[in-house]
């Protein structure tokens, strides 16, 4: 692989990770729904929110879907690291690795 091909592949994988992050946020919003309104009740609302959220996640299959998406993100990040290492070998210049925000 050439330097340009590796850089394009890295950009593609990073863009896929951004799309996966957006997908996870949409899934989370769908599960939480209007439960956030319970935060207007101080402590009791928080307890009800946590219980209701856990039940919704179990019923909707959110955990299973989230694991699949996160697995793809991890695979992409591994490929990015591998490609950056290959790019370092080609150019001889160490690449900076960005830490992912969670």
**Domain extents in the chain:** 3-91
Contact by Cβ (8 Å): 77, 100: yes
Q: What pLDDT shows up at residue 29?
A: 84
How many CB atoms within 10 Å of residue 44? 9
d(CA 60, CA 63) in angstroms, rounded, equals 8
pLDDT, position 14: 92
Per-residue pLDDT 10s for the chain (102 aa) are 788 888 899 899 999 999 999 998 888 888 777 777 666 677 777 777 788 888 888 887 777 888 899 999 999 999 999 999 988 888 887 766 555 555
Q: What is the pTM of this model?
A: 0.61
Q: Please, which residues have CB within 8 angstroms of residue 36's CB and are 6 or more apart in sequence?
A: 49
Matching residue, tokens 């890295």: 10
């Amino acid at each position: 692989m050439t330097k340009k091909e590796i850089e394009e592949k890295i950009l593609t994988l990073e863009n896929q990770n951004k799309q996966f992050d957006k997908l996870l946020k949409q899934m989370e919003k769908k599960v939480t729904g209007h439960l956030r309104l319970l935060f207007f009740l101080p402590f009791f609302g928080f307890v009800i929110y946590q219980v209701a959220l856990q039940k919704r996640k179990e019923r909707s299959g959110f955990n299973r879907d989230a694991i699949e998406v996160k697995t793809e993100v991890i695979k992409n990040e591994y490929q990015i690291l591998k490609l950056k290492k290959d790019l370092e070998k080609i150019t001889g210049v160490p690449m900076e690795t960005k830490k992912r925000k969670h």
